[in-house]
A and B are shown apart, each in its own frame.
Chain A
Amino acid sequence: MAGALKMKLTRQLLSLTVAAGCLLLPATLWSAEARPQVAKSSCVECHSAFPPPTGVSEAQWAADIHAQKGLSCASCHGGDAKDPSPEGAMSKKAGFRGKPKRTEIPALCAKCHADGAYMRQYNPSLRTDQLAQYRTSVHGKRLAQGDTKVAVCIDCHSVHGIRSAKDTRSTVNPLNVASTCSRCHSDANYMKDYKIKTDQFAGYSASVHHEAMVVRGDLSAPTCTTCHGNHGAAPPGVASVENVCSTCHVFQAQLFDTSPHKAAFAAMGAASCITCHSNHRIVHPTDKFVGTGNEAICTNCHAAGDPGFAAAGRIHDDLVKLDEALKRSAEVLDKAERSGMEVSQARLEEAQGRDSLTKARVTLHSFQPDKVEQDTQAGMKIAAKTYQAGLQALAERDYRRKGLGLTLITILVVLAGLRLYIRQTESKNQSGGS
């Protein structure tokens, strides 16, 4: 009896062990597979015990793309990463050069990154002109003059834990670029020698571009490097602003080129797009931007009586008129839809009306009221049609409601009549019987 119980318990224990093994084995295999295979390094064995900046943890080094591709500490620092003794690993004989000077870092990285043949084996599509670009940047030029405060490769890409720019944890992933730049550019104390503003990050954080990137998750939305360049980072300059913006806003730039503002801005020495939209704090434009009201940018240059003032007012009025017409139409269609009426065709046309408004808002970059009016008029016609469709749907709803009411009244009258008729017949029968 005791033997049978013992055997049963042993069998159950064995089953549990096998089940747990089955559950845990894939997890173990997965974690072993997910963890990058990085060669053992005698450097990391010692330096993982040090505090930063000389400390490099095994996890940090394992996450570094260079370690994952088979490079070792010696690839940058020289020495022998396989030698277990500190003397041997960091011997001059083994080529140990220690911590590179900041001024040496771009050239050191470029030893591999500017070598097309070498880089091809790791990533054939990776660019190899980073150093050449860096030398044209404000950072690169200042570094060449001996200013070691400016950014070098490791300031943006980090060090000993460098991830691919595609990795969302990378300091140079589009999601993180702005905060990486802001580490220096928002530090008023650090930047005081350069006499430039430090509100760029605050402005960008409030911009429509930041919203697109962070809120809508659109990684193609611009960040600092999109307009300034990454390795060749520099302010675009007045003459280049339009070219930079037009890499995305093509139509606006084409229309601006045909507008009277093109020559006027050039004469004033004003940069095209940013004169109205600002540079870093580019907020979502509203129809109040254009016109003659308090919030209108046009009034910065135009005053009552000049043709530009009148044109701005006309453009604003046309846009507002169409916007209001579309809203009125949408309101009626919403009401009809809530009442259970079928208005999908009108909804489809309404979308085309909104297209016209969007187009008109682009066309306004021509600053020609007649051109804007062409778009708004097309939209107004659609808005009038969809508004009528909404009214018709509501009229149909009212007709059905009235019909239902009339039917119910008729039925009630018939029921009341039947009741009276039955009572009359009963009273006749009673009087006939008595």
Chain B
Amino acid sequence: MQVLLGGGLLASAVSFLYPVWRYLVPPVATDLGGDSVVAAKVGELKANSGKIFRFGSRPGLLVRTADGEYRAMSAICTHLNCTVQYRSDVREVWCACHNGFYDLNGRNIAGPPPRPLESYAVHVNGDDVVVSRRRGT
């Protein structure tokens, strides 16, 4: 009986401690997005280039303009939800699915996209380029 009880108590202790251990040693960080995300490190993007970053489960587009300024916007085309990209040759945002174009403020300027891309606020915090949703949007 005592052996059974001792074993049971030990197993219970393990079952209590295991979740604590899993909590203290979490899996590889999964950024759930929220209202703000580190989209890149300072210096990661050359001038006149762009990169797709993850904003929750949706793609965002961070652009560093030829002047070195950062711009960020949703990377989901407002036409048929394809992922847009930065075109350094024309310095505009482009959707490869149906040849839609947006300017660097996310405004739809050519092709089938009916609406602008949601634009995000960008600020540099230390080494991080942080992208946030604009308040009230």
A411 CA to B32 CA in the complex, in Å? 34
Contact B1 A351 (CB under 8 A): no
Question: Are B32 and A414 touching (Cβ within 8 A)?
Answer: no
Query: A residues within 8 A CB of B56?
Result: 344
Max count, chain A CB within 10 A of own CB: residue among B54, B57, B99: B57
The reply to whether A251 and B57 form a contact with Cβ atoms under 8 Å apart is no
1/0 contact string of A393-434 vs chain B (CB within 8 Å):
000000000010011001101100110110010000000000
Evaluate contact between A413 and B8: CB separation under 8 angstroms. Answer: yes
Choose one: A250, A362, A407; the contact of B15 (CB below 8 Å).
Answer: A407
The reply on A8 being an interface residue by CB < 8 A is no
Q: Shortest beta-carbon distance, B71 to chain A, in Å?
A: 21
A344 near B59 with CB under 8 A, answer: no
Output the least CB separation between B73 and chain A (Å).
Answer: 16
Say which one of B40-48, B61-69, B77-85, B122-130 lies at the interface with A. Answer: B77-85
Residues of B within 8 A of A403 (CB): 15, 18
Q: Complex: how many Å from CA A359 to CA B1?
A: 69
The answer, yes or no, to whether A20 is at the interface (CB within 8 Å) is no
Residues of A within 8 A of B30 (CB): 342, 344-345
- Residues in chain A near residue B82, CB distance under 8 A: 354-355, 358-359
Complex Cα–Cα for A217 and B1 (A): 75
Bound state CA distance, A406 and B8, in angstroms?
A: 12
The answer for the CA separation of A410 and B5 in the assembled complex, in Å, is 10
Residue of B nearest to A216 (CB): B114
Q: Which label, helix, strand, loop or mixed, suits the secondary structure of the A interface?
A: helix
On whether the beta carbons of B8 and A414 are closer than 8 Å, the reply is yes
A212 part of interface (Cβ distance < 8 Å): yes
Residues of B contacting A216 in the complex (Cβ-Cβ under 8 angstroms): 114
Q: Are B5 and A352 in contact (CB under 8 A)?
A: no
Closest residue of A by beta carbon distance from B8? A414
> How far does the alpha carbon of A351 sit from the alpha carbon of B97 in the complex, in Å?
13
Segment 11-63 of B: residues with Cβ below 8 Å from A = 11-12, 15, 18, 30, 32-33, 54, 56-59
The 6 closest A-B pairs by CB, nearest first: A344-B57, A218-B114, A407-B15, A414-B8, A347-B57, A250-B99
Residues of B within 8 A of A (CB): 1-2, 4-5, 8-9, 11-12, 15, 18, 30, 32-33, 54, 56-59, 76, 80-83, 96-99, 111-112, 114-115
Can you give 7 A-B contacts (C-beta < 8 A)? Answer: A216-B114, A250-B98, A351-B59, A358-B82, A358-B97, A407-B12, A411-B12
